Amino acid sequence: MAKKVLVVDDSLYMRTLIKDALSSAGYEIVGMAANGEAAIDMAFELQPDIITLDNILPDMLGIDILKTLKDEVLPSKVVMISAVGQQSVIDEGMKLGANDYIVKPFTTEQLVDVVNKC
Amino acid sequence: MIKVLLVDDSNFMRMVISNMLGEDAGIHLVGSAENGHDAYEKTKLLKPDVILLDLIMKDFDGLYAVKKIMAECPTSIIILSGVGNSDMGPVFEALEAGACDFLNKPDGTKEGGIRGISNQLILKIYEVAKVDKNKLLRKNTVANINQHTFDTYLPYEIFAIGSSTGGPGALEEVLKHIPSNFPLPIVIAQHMPANFVHSFAARLTATIPLKVKVMEKGDVLQAGQIYIAPGDHNVYLSKENLLSKRAVVEYTTEQFVEFNEPSVDCLMLSVAKLYGNKAIAAILTGMGRDGAVGMEALFKSGAYTIAQDERTSVVFGMPKAAIDKGAIKQVLPITQIAGFVVSALS
């Protein structure tokens, strides 16, 4: 059965890019969120297997969303997506319980590889 | 021995071209045809490596031939574009249907003269004979032109692209995945005769959200606008004036070693000089080595350099030349280049 993915990114372009890449790789995209509040709501409602989580969102940082999800013991695996030069964010995320991370710019092949490893 | 099938309904053209081909010992003219249906039948029968194909013929035209041949027995096809053709639409349709390359027929002018065309034609025949036919069949991907949330701080200020054989299709694939709110100017040098470039720009403008124009001397680069180098000048970018941050298009008569009018090296070298590490550049499918020197200069100034990969390049020459110089940071299939560039701007 296809693994369920929630895509979180404020850019419609990136949500589409990630959705297309992961759908082609056999994942089922069960939801897409453009801000933190929607991301948290959807995460609990949809209980995805994997969440791709952009770090910069209009209402909060991905790292804060991650903290909330882990505090509430959501079992979803999280892949953090961050821009270059945010190593401290990545380190903090991994400590908080993110499963993996990918740095922009990335190829869709790299994204699929990272999600496959989850 | 490269087997060539010649398709043209003009007796004169068939004679002229057959004489040209006769001068090269590695090329064997295996047959000729006068209309699209005959072209298709002879292709099935003679199995040529390369087909030279006129588009305008009676009864069944060249486009018919391209579609039938690419559907059943994909072969490398070089379109011979007619003298005085003002409508290049059919040539681009033929490329979209899977034709590999195109060339202006001899027209009696000095540049369009027999000698000049002959060398080009022979070179193109040798190159396209090597192409993996499966690469020629264009896959239709869905365009992603949705808006992206670009940061207020942008690490790059220009996106520059160089391409040749197979370029029109590759460029379309990249540009149709560029978001409609792309914040940088895009400059392109595609090896193409002057009469084709305007048609190509118009065609692109109709299919993608961003506006595409042919570069003219004095043009000031604007964000979100695409500029294509003309086919009758070498162009470069320079600063508008001492106080301005904006770039302006200039012509030069300087000739470059690899290719001219337009020279990809000429454009890329100026982008390296003007933008340094604020440039992203991509070298796409193409015959020869134009662009390698320019990409190397870009790499050395800290720009982000991308090359199209072998698997998706119709001809891997230009990307490979840049890769061999150590000038490339990332090699990508054509379908990934736009998304990669956009995500680099986040």
Q: What is the mean pLDDT of each run of 10 residues along chain B (346 residues)?
A: 95 91 95 94 96 86 92 94 75 91 76 75 94 81 87 91 96 94 97 91 91 96 97 95 89 96 98 97 97 98 97 96 97 95 89
- SS3 of residue B288 by DSSP: coil
Residue ranges, CATH 3.40.50.2300, chain B: 2-136
Report the gap between the CA of B147 and the closest CA in chain A (Å): 5
Q: Which residues of B are catalytic?
A: 164, 191, 290
Q: Which residues of A touch B341 (CB under 8 A)?
A: 105
Residue in B with minimal Cα distance to A55: B346
Chain B residue numbers with beta carbons less than 8 Å from the beta carbon of A11 are 146-149, 346
Beta-sheet strand order (sheet of B76-81):
B27-33, B2-7, B50-54, B76-81, B101-104
- CATH code of the domain occupying A4-113: 3.40.50.2300
Note whether A13 contacts B332, CB cutoff 8 Å. no
Neighbouring residues of B76: CB distance < 8 A, sequence distance ≥ 6 = B49, B50, B51, B100, B101, B128, B129, B131, B133, B136
Give CATH 3.40.50.180 domain extents, chain B: 158-344
CA distances from A53 to A81, B154, B243 (A): 6, 21, 42
Interface test with A, best of B142, B148, B334 (most A CBs within 10 A): B148
Buried b (16+ CB within 10 A) or exposed e, A78-115: bbbbbbeebeebbeebeebebbbbbbbbbbbeebbebb
Distance CA A54, CA A17 (A): 13
What is the rounded CA–CA span in Å between residue B178 and residue B201? Answer: 16
Rounded to an integer, what distance in angstroms lies between the CA atom of residue B165 and that of residue B68?
Answer: 22
Is the reported ipTM for this assembly greater than 0.95?
no
Which residues in chain A have Cβ-Cβ distances shorter than 8 Å to B343? 14, 17, 104-106
**Residue position matching structure tokens 């509040």:** A37
Q: Does A20 touch chain B (CB under 8 A)?
A: yes
- Predicted confidence (pLDDT) per residue in A21-80, tens digit: 999 999 999 999 999 999 999 999 999 999 999 998 999 999 999 999 999 989 999 999
Q: Which of A10, A13, A108 sits opposite B179 (nearest CB)?
A: A13
Class of the CATH-defined domain B158-344: alpha beta
Q: Does B306 reach chain A within 8 Å, measured CB to CB?
A: no
Residue with tokens 């701080």: B153
- Verify whether the Cβ–Cβ distance A12 to B148 is below 8 Å: yes
Cα B91 from chain centre: 13
**Cβ of residue B222 closer than 8 Å to a chain A Cβ:** no
Contacts of B336 (CB under 8 A, 6+ apart): A107, A108, A109
**Distance of alpha carbon A13 from its chain centroid, rounded?**
15
| pLDDT at B247 (0 to 100) | 96
Are the beta carbons of A108 and B144 separated by less than 8 Å? no
In this prediction, residue A1 carries a pLDDT of 82
Which among B144, B149, B344 has CB closest to A104? B344
Structure tokens that stand for B127 in this block: 């190159």
Name residue, tokens 């006769």.
B22
Taking an 8 Å cut-off on Cβ atoms, the answer to whether B340 and A20 are in contact is no
User: How far lies B181's CA from each of A101, B52, B149, in Å?
Assistant: 27, 41, 9
* Answer CATH for B2-136 from 3.30.565.10, 3.40.50.2300, 1.10.10.10, 3.40.50.620: 3.40.50.2300
Q: What is the phi/psi pair of residue B290, to 5°?
A: -60, 135
Query: CB of B74 within 8 A of CB of B97?
Result: no
Residues of B in Cβ contact (< 8 Å) with A25: none
Chain B residues within an 8 Å CB radius of A10: 149
The residues in A 21-80 lying below 8 A from B, measured between CB atoms, are 56
Residue showing tokens 């054509």: B334
pLDDT value of position B41: 96
CA distances, B21 to each of B7, B10, B308 (Å): 13, 16, 32
CB of A85 less than 8 A from some CB of B: no
Distance from CA of residue B265 to its chain's centroid? 15
CB contact under 8 A, B144 and A11: no
User: Count of H helices and E strands in chain A?
Assistant: 5, 5
Q: Do A12 and B146 make contact, defined as CB atoms within 8 angstroms?
A: yes
Q: Is the pLDDT of residue A6 over 90?
A: yes
CB contact under 8 A, A11 and B142: no
Cβ separation of B346 and A12 shorter than 8 Å?
A: no
Residue with tokens 């895509």: A7
Q: State the pLDDT at residue B84.
A: 62
Give strand pairing partners of A52. A7, A79
